[in-house]
Amino acid sequence: MQKLQRISVGDGISLSIAETDKFKTGHLSVQFLMPLGFADCACGALLTAVLRRTSLRYPRALDLARALEELYGASVSRVVRKKGEYQVLGLSIDFLAERYTLGGEKQLAAAADLLFEFLLRPAVRDGAFDSAIVEQEKKNLCDLIDGRINDKRSYAITRCVELMCDGEKYGLDELGTRGEVEAITPESLYAYYQRLIRETPIEIFFVGEGSEDLAGLVRGKCAALPRGGMRQGGTEVRRTAGEVRRFTDEMPVAQGKLTLGFRTGITAADPDYPALVLFNAIYGATPNGKLFDNVREKLSLCYYCSTMVERAKGLLLVYSGIEVKDKQQAEDEILRQLEAMRAGDFSDADMAEAVATIQNSYRSAEDSAAAVEDWYLTGLIAGNTADFAAMSERVAAVTREQVVAAANKLTLDTIYFLRGTER
């Protein structure tokens, strides 16, 4: 894969290209960076769903679907993510590379044309989106919000973050709330759309082959965009937690879910970030970590017990699925392993192993278009645009003392327990 090229293609619009012929598909995305709190999250989440349905050229959803099938079953996906205190919104298209088509059809230009058709030529009449489509997608979005409880593992993590960051923008859910959804009208959604395309930074990514003409094509598409009054957001970072807060929800489930939320005091923009990455790997993020080894293998309390870091906001979450009766024992062990890390109770072999695991994951990420895109986009938002190789070197240079220091910066903010009850 060639080095990522990032160029300006308009006012606040950047195009990043990772040219490579290793994939059989191309991946193109257009993402708007909406600062959280600037508008209801539900508007953005709903907008992506409405935009994907129809356009001026394809007023019927069926025609648009058939155009995608003609493009060898290309798929358009919505992007609705929370990264730092931004709601990242947009659409992406994945399509078969020209080389693998049966007739040698030009794929990238056609895919880009379709993607911009969805985004910039919506079927709008009299200053409003089609009311039937807006109503259908409002119901779908409400179902999606309600459906968060279906996956208990991710629900417990989302709920912990929501409780932990209550009062901070990061505590907002990227899908918004039911109340927000219900308040949206076809007119208000169109007004939101106009602000989105005028006032937010736009990041366009392409991973694949044959991108020579892409910049020109994208410039042409974006030239007509009205731009101005750009919103520059940022992420508020609380370096330390106050008193530990405890929350419990009850649900009729077989397995309890325990989630611990920490403030790390470190973001990707900080010099001690590589130490946090290494700490995270030794403590819990890998199957060679202390949590897997003790909570699962030694105590046999769970099937999974792992950690993850939010690098823009500076959070670390520990999450596990356990028997309700084992909750205290699991919590004690998770914290005991943290104390051990703080006291420097880990070996040089643990360090070396964690470095090897992290470096392997960085090199492996370059074999996935989605991982490459996610890395650079998160990096942009978190204020650290180092590439995989540079981060790899920085992690390898971390000392034991720096890992201990990172462990000692962690403060426990919230303990959330999704308690199973008898059915």
Partner 1 sequence: MQEQYSALTGERIRRIDHPTGLTILVNEKPSYNKAYAVYATKFGSVNNVFMRDGRRRTLPDGIAHFLEHKLFENEEGDAFLRFGPVGGNANAFTDFDMTAYLFSCTEHFDKNLEILLDFVQRPYFTEKSVAKEQGIIGQEIRMYDDDPGWRVTFNLLAALYRNHPVRIDIAGTCETIAGITPELLYETYEAFYSPRNMVLCVCGHVTAEEVLEIADRVLKPRANPEVERVFPAEPDAAAAPRAEQRLSVARPLFALGYKNPNVNLSGREAALYENTMEILSEIIVGKGTALYHELYEKGLINASFGSGYQGSESYGYLLFEGESDEPDAVADAIRARIAALRESGVSDEEFERCRRAVYGRLMGAGNSPERIANNMAVCHFRGIDYFTLFTSISDITPADVTRALGELTPERAALSVILPERK
Minimum distance from residue 418 beta carbon to partner 1 (Å): 10
Interface characters, 229-248, with partner 1 (x: CB under 8 A): --------------------
Where helices occur in 184-326 by DSSP H, the ranges are 186-199, 214-223, 273-280, 290-291
Task: Pick out residues in 35-54 that bind partner 1 (CB under 8 A).
Answer: 49
Nearer Cβ to partner 1 (277/301): 301
- Interface with partner 1 by CB under 8 A: which range of 38-46, 57-65, 83-91, 236-244? 57-65
**x-marked contacts with partner 1 along 318-337 as a string, rule CB under 8 A:** ---xxx--------------
Contact at 8 Å (CB) between 145 and 185? Answer: no
Instruction: Map residues 147-186 to x or -, x wherever contact with partner 1 holds by CB under 8 A.
Output: xxxxxxx---------------------------------
Per-residue DSSP letter, 287 = T
Residue 114 binding partner 1, by CB under 8 A: no
- The interface region with partner 1, picked from 162-170, 233-241, 355-363, 399-407 by CB under 8 A, is 355-363
CA dihedral of residues 274, 277, 282, 284 (deg, nearest 10): 170
Shortest separation between residue 297's beta carbon and partner 1, angstroms: 7
Question: How crowded is residue 242: how many other Cβ atoms within 10 Å of its Cβ?
Answer: 9
Interface residue with partner 1, options 14, 140, 329, 402 (CB under 8 A)? 140
Residue 366 engages partner 1 in binding (rule: CB under 8 A): yes
- Cα separation of 76 and 69, whole Å? 11
59 binds partner 1, rule: CB under 8 A: no
Query: Which CA distances in Å does 131 have to 189, 295, 416?
Result: 10, 52, 40
Q: Phi and psi at residue 83, in whole multiples of 5°?
A: -135, 115
Pick between residue 96 and residue 114 the one whose CB is nearest to partner 1. Answer: 96
Question: Taking the complex as a whole, how short is the minimal distance between the CB of residue 141 and partner 1, in angstroms?
Answer: 10
86-96 and 75-83 beta bridge pairing: antiparallel
The answer to whether the beta carbons of residues 245 and 413 sit under 8 Å apart is yes
Q: To 10 degrees, the CA torsion angle through 154, 156, 160, 161?
A: 10
Of the pair 300, 328, the CB lying nearest partner 1 is at: 300
Cβ atoms within 10 Å of 144's Cβ, excluding its own: 15
DSSP string, 109-174: HHHHHHHHHHHHS--EETTEE-HHHHHHHHHHHHHHHHGGGGSHHHHHHHHHHHHHTTTSGGGS-T
Among 100-108, 185-193, 236-244, 337-345, the segment contacting partner 1 (CB under 8 A): 100-108
Per-residue contact string for residues 120-139; x = within reach of partner 1 by CB under 8 A: ------------x---x--x
How many residues touch partner 1 under the rule CB under 8 A: the total is 75
Residues numbered 391 to 420 that lie near partner 1 (CB under 8 A) are: 420
At residue 103, the 3 state secondary structure works out as coil
Residue choice 7, 65, 244, 390 for contact with partner 1 (CB under 8 A): 65
Residue 239 CB, shortest distance to partner 1, in Å, is 32
Of the residues 94, 199, 373, 413, which one makes contact with partner 1 according to CB under 8 A:
94
3-class SS at 387? coil
Near partner 1 in 247-306, by CB under 8 A:
251-255, 286-288, 296-297, 300-304
What residues from 302 to 321 belong to the interface with partner 1 (CB under 8 A)? 302-304, 321
